[in-house]
Structure 1
């Protein structure tokens, strides 16, 4: 057995130092796992990395990752995001906060087909920012709402991060997707309440207001939401009905997306080439991190680190609730230095066995972990959504404006975290009903 405190300190220290040096997180995990295995277990374990990588990549669940990425790429290139944003703007323009609510709802709807927070923030941000420039909205809140709304991409199903968590912990992907649905809707509502509260407190943040849109126009524009809703129903409906696994549902979603792209007249060899290239790049990055995480998981399991840490926590007499609160602080700190998927896969092998041993449901913890990952997307200095939105805005501007605008939404997400801890059924009620 390895002393758990020594391992945790060395592991986190190496993670932060090497990450700050600009080394890719997959390389960091390979180095940590390889050096640890070489010193404690011998070279034979290190040489086994090839077999482990092959077994990991053959996991049927992980096949869904490139399919969901491709699904998002196809819908992005179909031009649906512009139509969706305009339709939603017609319905949210008269609520206190105006178009700011459209940012959140659009991100939530696109998240239901994307599975990626960065893709969600980039897509909606590209469409939304021009609409605000002529309306005198407070730019900081506009940017903050886009960065925060983008985080919904990994909470509202389908979610690539949940797929990776399910693959690493042998947890049902269907249950994880169902568990993320209600917290995702609650977070949308909380974001909108935050915006409404800010607008009532400081009406100037909502600019000059919006022109009224008659009911007939609103109803006609709802047609532009139909394609995304159809794709979402095909993907999630086939999973919840028991007709398809997550991987098969992703394949069905891709077929549906291809039909929609063709109907909108966007299907071409050039478009498919761009979508496939982008999918390959993103998939390569994601699966390299996953293979490195599985290798790290393999090494620390042989060393008995998760069991040692669980015993150490029990011996300290810390209650399960106190342990979760410590994890909240840990993830808030790690989120300042690591990208979301990196933060998840580097801690899952150590933290998940501990949490499950304390009596927490692994499905609930998956949702909790994804919410913590969402927070890392909008907390500086490495909040990826902050940089994505800042990049869309254009060069020569101060990124601190995006950070200030996102600050109220950080508090909102901490409120959701508190609700999940106080009321686990917020995440577990739906999967318990669907998978009895």
Structure 2
């Protein structure tokens, strides 16, 4: 069994390789291979092929490209713009006006796309032109889009929750159920934050919108039905026991194709671009997962999880102290690592420690995803900052960073809340799954 010093050296080496720009999968495999050669011998390294075959033939992995394809089809079917306009009819009357629409649209699109980056790009493209002539505070506009889009990896179906569940052997259905209240709860807190800021500084809320007639608002309300339909099909089939997450993802794709056909967008060109984007993203994610599973295999043989758990037990650290240290650790790590890399690199070591302390792995999965959300909007590696800045097309990126700060503060408070009251996360999955 490897000691704590050896495990620490391997972990620092892995992070160092990522920091210098090496591809995540390559960094993971190099550390795994070194662990095999130094501690276990070359024959263990030769088992990589068998390990890879087992991982890629896991049925749950098929859900990843299916959920990516679902988001790509909806993105190209023109559903998002109509959804945004419909939400603006009803949310723009609150203090903050159209800023609430950014959060509401992000939450709804997140509930069908499973990706924060896709949500940021889509909502940013639709929303930013609507603000340019209305004198809203630009930083708050950019911050609301970047922060609202982070909900894409928390509100189910979430690709990151699927990956976490696959690595830790945790129920995907319970993880999805656990993400619903925190996801929509954070969306509500973001909207409360916007209202409070705009009551404090009314000039940030831009020009007062003239309310559309009730008949027009009711007619445009139908634009909310497509994303709601997909959400019900996917999540309902899982919770009613009619389908596994992978089968539910396939049902969602079929539903998205029907919606695209109804909008007159189902063409060979659209399908080609959706398939191409899906293949590119899936290849990147599965390569990382493949290397992560092999690393997980190696550290399990080396006994690193047991060593780290014993080390934490010997230090006498309480669960609360451990979670506070992990929160600081993830806040710092999120400044330098991409979110998926951060999760893949730390889960094999951290989760056994958390479980040994008596914490629920479902709860920790939601906690980890919220910490990953923070990483999406913290410089210098915050991906959503660059996506929104790219859609914006000019100006200093510090405007986007400053705009996200109020929402980042809300998220830190929310993390503290779920640490002290885990029932916020666990109540609904416990109710659904008895």
Determine if the TM-score, normalized by the shorter chain, exceeds 0.5: yes
Deviations 1:254-308 (A, max 9, x none): 0010011001000111110000000000000111111111011111111111110
Q: 1:6, CA displacement in angstroms? A: 4.2
Other structure's SS at 1:338 match: coil
In 2, Cα distance between the equivalents of 1:321 and 1:170? 24
In 1, Cα distance between the equivalents of 2:396 and 2:26? 31
Out of 418, 425, 431, which is 1:427 matched to? 425
Q: 1:18, CA displacement in angstroms? A: 2.1
Counterpart of 2:408 in structure 1 is 410
Counterpart of 1:329 in structure 2 is 328
Out of 387, 398, 401, which is 1:400 matched to? 398
In 2, Cα distance between the equivalents of 1:384 and 1:39? 36
Is residue 16–residue 337 contact of structure 1 (8 Å, CA) maintained in 2?
Answer: no
In 2, Cα distance between the equivalents of 1:132 and 1:67? 34
In 2, Cα distance between the equivalents of 1:262 and 1:384? 32
Question: Does 1:4 pair with 2:15?
Answer: no
Q: 1:16, CA displacement in angstroms? A: 3.6
In 1, Cα distance between the equivalents of 2:331 and 2:169? 25
Q: 1:419, CA displacement in angstroms? A: 1.3
In 2, Cα distance between the equivalents of 1:409 and 1:332? 15
In 1, Cα distance between the equivalents of 2:216 and 2:421? 41
Residue correspondence of structure 1 range 9-48 to structure 2 within 5 A: 10-48=9-47
Counterpart of 1:75 in structure 2 is 74
Deviations 1:171-204 (A, max 9, x none): 1111000000000111011101111111111112
Deviations 1:103-136 (A, max 9, x none): 0000000011001111111111110000011111
- Unpaired runs of 5+ residues, structure 2, are none
Is residue 233–residue 248 contact of structure 2 (8 Å, CA) maintained in 1?
Answer: yes
Q: 1:216, CA displacement in angstroms? A: 2.3
Q: 1:42, CA displacement in angstroms? A: 0.9
Q: 1:33, CA displacement in angstroms? A: 1.1
- Unpaired runs of 5+ residues, structure 1, are none
In 1, Cα distance between the equivalents of 2:287 and 2:137? 40
Q: 1:22, CA displacement in angstroms? A: 1.5
In 1, Cα distance between the equivalents of 2:410 and 2:291? 33
Deviations 1:53-76 (A, max 9, x none): 111111111110000000000001
Other structure's SS at 2:337 match: coil
Counterpart of 2:200 in structure 1 is 201
In 2, Cα distance between the equivalents of 1:12 and 1:407? 30
Which stretches of structure 1, 4 residues or longer, exceed 6 Å deviation after superposition?
none
Counterpart of 2:119 in structure 1 is 120
Q: 1:85, CA displacement in angstroms? A: 0.4
Q: 1:66 to 1:202 in 2, by over 3 A?
A: same
Q: 1:209, CA displacement in angstroms? A: 2.2
Counterpart of 2:270 in structure 1 is 271
Q: 1:231 to 1:124 in 2, by over 3 A?
A: same
Question: Could you tell which deviates more after superposition, 136-145 or 243-252?
Answer: 136-145
Residue correspondence of structure 1 range 149-160 to structure 2 within 5 A: 149-160=148-159
Is residue 19–residue 337 contact of structure 2 (8 Å, CA) maintained in 1?
Answer: no
Counterpart of 1:180 in structure 2 is 179
In 2, Cα distance between the equivalents of 1:347 and 1:20? 15
In 2, Cα distance between the equivalents of 1:201 and 1:3? 55
Question: Does 1:240 pair with 2:239?
Answer: yes
Is residue 19–residue 337 contact of structure 1 (8 Å, CA) maintained in 2?
Answer: no
Question: Could you tell which deviates more after superposition, 45-54 or 181-190?
Answer: 45-54
Residue correspondence of structure 1 range 209-228 to structure 2 within 5 A: 209-228=208-227
Is residue 75–residue 257 contact of structure 1 (8 Å, CA) maintained in 2?
Answer: yes
In 2, Cα distance between the equivalents of 1:347 and 1:12? 9
Counterpart of 2:250 in structure 1 is 251
In 1, Cα distance between the equivalents of 2:143 and 2:52? 39
**TM-score scaled to structure 1, two decimals?**
0.98
Q: 1:214, CA displacement in angstroms? A: 2.8
**TM-score scaled to structure 2, two decimals?**
0.98
